[in-house]
Amino acid sequence: MRSYFLLIIVLSLTLNITAQNNAPWRGKKAAVVLTYDDAINQHLDNAIPVLDSLGLKATFYITGFSASMQSRLNDWKKIATNGHELGNHTLYHPCTGGPGREWVSPDHDLNNYTITRIVEEIKATNVLLQSMDGKTRRTFAFTCADTKVRDSSFAGLIKNEFVAMRNVRASMHRIDEVNTDDVDCYMVNGETAGQMIDWVKKAVETNSLLVILFHGVGGGNGLDVSIPAHRQFLDYLKQNEKDIWVAPMIEVADHVKDWQTRQRINKLTEEDHKDMLAKLKITSLRSGVNGNDPNAPNAANYDEAKANPYPDLPDPLVLKNGKKVKDVKTWWNRRRPEIVEDFDSEIYGRMPANTPKVNWEIVGVSDTMNGEYRVKLKRLIGHVDNSTYPSVKVDIQLTIGIPVDATAAIPVIMEFGFVFPPGFRLPPQNNNQPPSPSWQQQCLARGWAYAVLIPTTVQADNGAGLTQGIIGLMNKGERRKTYDWGSLRAWAWGASRALDYFETDPSLDAKKVAIEGHSRYGKAALVTLAYDQRFATGFISSSGEGGAKLHRRNAGEIVENVASSGEYHWMAGNFIKYAGPLTWKDLPVDSHELIALCAPRPVFISSGEKGDGWVDARGMFMAADAAGPVYELLGTKGLGTNQFPKVETGLMEGDISFRQHSGGHTPGPNWPVFLEFAARYFK
Ligand SMILES: [Zn+2]
């Protein structure tokens, strides 16, 4: 699921969600979590060798002060190094005593505990386990399934300490029904392998999570499984790996939470999208193209012969009244405002006039190394004044790295930074290797500062979040009107507020600030540069549809994809109209005019090649070319040619520049080219 999630984030491709519903466990039909309670020697001696020989990872719920922990601490540390989870099962294993529980000693009888004592005991166990495996995130298992001290539950007091908490109830659930604060499990007590395998078969049939609880394994506890039954059961799991995902509790719980969050967001997003369609009085939309499956009936077009159904673009140098713009003054005073108005009303939405003040707080300064460079790293939070609607809070995250040996005010390269969920892994892709040196190090090598703004702290990247963030704050928690701004314009607003801060920092030259963004943030970077003329230049990476690509092009992603519920939040609600009933040619402006709004400031439009067809490099090139006349009117230079260049051949002579690297969907290989381009202006 996480690799699919990445596609949603980075490539903005449409997904076949139905396929995942039958295999919601990382593409498999069921998940099995093996848990071993109480930290007993037989786990180390009888269970671990079998698990390790099969390459299966389990969760060991550790009782901190158990005999085995006291005598074999290093063996327990070693299993963590080998990828097993050390879960928390308290220090002393207290349980509620009473009839049938005569073995509970008075010292460790929960009836004799206070709430504070059990909570502190559990937290102390986390400290112990952290000292063993270095981890700050883990899961918990209630001892004897007890969640109370006499009549008071302590579960709510510890749940924020854990990714998940396991109880003991023989029940299994589908991914949407798993409660990670109260996970059920099947406790093994003398079962045969066949009986345990039947549980697994049921989990596979019902697409469920099955958690197994072992105590003794060939002895060590009255609740036991025989060594052969344990071995046979694990063999079965291994042999059926194609259907069964076996992983520690923490990994499975993270996956469940991500999945449930995404489902919640999708549902709210669908509702908001429907609400916007109703406001626009739209009853049906044309559907987007499929970028994943070239054999799909609605597969994205990559045939240049079919790519230009509407070749006539609006002329950036013709006024609405039909008169030609012949002088600079007419551009600035009349034509440019006309274009801005069209983008405001129909494409990106209207930013409210009275956006609130942002109070930048420096929350941390450290002197650190980035590669071979000494850097002063400043972490800032931009608190947005929310006194008009306190229930929406917006705190913008910004980090700035400044070379410590800088003596004068220096240029800043600011990136819109991606944030991935905890434990998130990038899918392996040879051409997506992080460049070495990193872009930050390339900036530092030139004696420049770098900054990373986290756009999702300004505005969420989904429709569900439109009643929150800066857009929600301005609307006092209500849904958008048809002309209200979308996330791209909101992210650009956030970048402008960061630039406000740069203007107050004497170590930075606020007249030499570049904005960079990739993919959806490439769109945001272009919007930023177009709207805020204080930005000196921009690196617009793989921005595609909604960015530098012409809306009138039928190649890769198209208007209909951006108008769908997965992406409409980037734009004004009004943009959806152009996916039905209107068409692309009805758009009053196109992307070449967005690039023209950047004039006369230098801009670098770019993409990759293999695996980056979705963003339509040629459509972005054509827009860059068509913006040229505005640059020339203002005394600067356009691309200088209308011939689409070869891959890896940058058109770098003009003030509009273009380059397609031979890699995939990444800005990496174009960073040195952009910095060289910016250096011409940052002398
Ligand atoms: Zn126990």
For the chain, give the percent of residues with pLDDT over 70: 95
What does the DSSP 8-state code read for residue 112?
G
Q: 110 alpha carbon to ligand 1 midpoint, in Å?
A: 14
Which token pair is 72? 């074999």
Q: 144 alpha carbon to ligand 1 midpoint, in Å?
A: 6
Tell me, yes or no, whether 439 lies in a domain.
yes
CATH (domain of 226): 3.20.20.370
Domain residues for the domain of 237 are 28-256
Q: What are phi and psi of 336, to 5 degrees?
A: -60, -50
Q: Residue 371, by phi and psi: left (phi above 0), alpha (psi -120 to 50) or beta?
A: left
pLDDT at 436 (0 to 100): 79
Q: 285 alpha carbon to ligand 1 midpoint, in Å?
A: 56
Tell me, yes or no, whether 566 lies in a domain.
yes
pLDDT at 571 (0 to 100): 98
- pLDDT < 70: residue spans in the chain: 1-21, 421-435
My answer on whether 225 and 350 are in the same domain is: no
My answer on whether 229 and 340 are in the same domain is: no
Strand-pairing partners, residue 208, are: 174
Closest CA to 647 of 621, 608, 605, 604: 608
My answer on whether 252 and 332 are in the same domain is: no
Contacts 24+ apart (CB under 8 A), 179-186: 180/253, 180/256, 180/257, 181/155, 182/155, 183/209, 183/211, 183/249, 183/253, 184/211, 185/33, 185/35, 185/211, 185/212, 185/213, 186/210, 186/211, 186/212, 186/213
My answer on whether 333 and 198 are in the same domain is: no
Q: 62 alpha carbon to ligand 1 midpoint, in Å?
A: 9
How many domains, the chain?
2
My answer on whether 239 and 344 are in the same domain is: no
Q: How many CB atoms lie within 10 A of CB 639?
A: 23
For residues 86 and 63, the answer to whether their CB atoms sit within 8 Å is no
My answer on whether 507 and 647 are in the same domain is: yes
My answer on whether 246 and 349 are in the same domain is: no
Tell me, yes or no, whether 378 lies in a domain.
no
Buried b or exposed e, range 570-603, using 16+ CB within 10 angstroms: bbbbbbbbbbbeeebeebebbbbbbbbbbbbbbb
pLDDT at 490 (0 to 100): 98
Class of residue 20 by CB neighbours under 10 A (exposed 0-12, middle 13-18, buried 19+): middle
pLDDT at 419 (0 to 100): 85
Q: 215 alpha carbon to ligand 1 midpoint, in Å?
A: 8
My answer on whether 66 and 154 are in the same domain is: yes
Q: 319 alpha carbon to ligand 1 midpoint, in Å?
A: 78
**What's the whole-model pTM score?**
0.84
CATH (domain of 559): 3.40.50.1820
C-alpha torsion 346→348→349→352, nearest 10:
-150
HEC secondary structure over 210-239: EEEEECEECCCCCCEECHHHHHHHHHHHHH
pLDDT at 22 (0 to 100): 76
Rounded CA separation 53/438 (Å): 39
In three-state secondary structure terms, 483 is coil
C-alpha torsion 176→182→188→192, nearest 10:
-10
Q: 168 alpha carbon to ligand 1 midpoint, in Å?
A: 10
